[in-house]
Structure 1
Amino acid sequence: MNTPKHPILYLLTTNFSDPEAGPGVYYCPYCIRIEGLLSAFHILRETLKIEYVDFAKPRGTLPDLTGEQNQSCPQLVFPDGDDEISAQWSVSGVGKVRAINNTRHIEAYISNRYGLPLRHP
């Protein structure tokens, strides 16, 4: 396994519309949780590549890495494959790409990888 220098964190932009959910403007509650980590621990903005994508699909370059059927956000994508920590939570992407697509698993990975406090149960 190798250690990519900069995993890519995909987050939805805020203030999006979703006709299926009804009228109004929305934000993703899962992405906002990760935004909280980015605000509290500034090292994350320095070490992760962060891509904001629109709610409408296709979501930027995300489907090129994870496949058309796997465009949920947030996602932490490892273009060069897993590192020694991500393997326990990641799923397959396109080719050697791996991704963590569960918000709690992203939080756990970030805490473990960067030596940050753990999420309180």
Structure 2
Amino acid sequence: MKDLLFLLSSGFTDGEGAPYYCPHCAIFEGLVALYPKLAEELTIRRVAYPRPRPEIVGLLGEENQSCPVLILHQEPPASCSDLAWRKANGRPFLDDPTAIGHYLARVYGVPRPHS
């Protein structure tokens, strides 16, 4: 089983000025474009903008449906214990883009985000 990364599909509407994209999700779209091995090693799912987002709600509950969100299939490795982990329905997850970037760097060997 692979780690699961949810991203918002781009080109969504949300009031005036649409279409939009999620800037935090776009970071990971770009990272996957730069490092295609991530697309092979992760399960990446793109979901529609409107809430509820049933696929995420089914895994993490209604209160945890923001994107991007990375859901692990097992407990986080010790090398990532300092990241801002949350847990819902027994599943560890990250919903902070910087923390997701650091996890991907440590576990999948891509460069880490510059702060």
Could you tell me which residue of structure 1 aligns to residue 82 of structure 2?
88
Matched, 1:66 2:63: no
Matched, 1:109 2:98: no
Q: Which has the higher strand share?
A: 1
5+ long unaligned stretches in structure 1: none
Q: Which amino acid aligns with 1:29?
A: P
Q: Which has the higher helix share?
A: 2
With normalisation by structure 2, the TM-score equals 0.90
Superposed displacement of residue 8, structure 1 = 0.7
CA offsets per residue over residues 6-55 of structure 1, 9 Å max, x none?
Answer: 01100000000013xx3421000000011111000111000000111000
Give the distance between the partners of 2:82 and 2:60, measured in 1 at CA: 17
Matched, 1:6 2:2: yes
Give the distance between the partners of 2:86 and 2:111, measured in 1 at CA: 24
Superposed displacement of residue 87, structure 1 = 4.2
With normalisation by structure 1, the TM-score equals 0.85
Give the distance between the partners of 1:107 and 1:77, measured in 2 at CA: 13
Supply the RMSD in Å over aligned alpha carbons: 1.4
Superposed displacement of residue 86, structure 1 = 4.6
Give the distance between the partners of 2:74 and 2:86, measured in 1 at CA: 10
| Equivalent position to 1:16, from 12, 37, 61 | 12
Q: Give aligned pairs, total.
A: 113
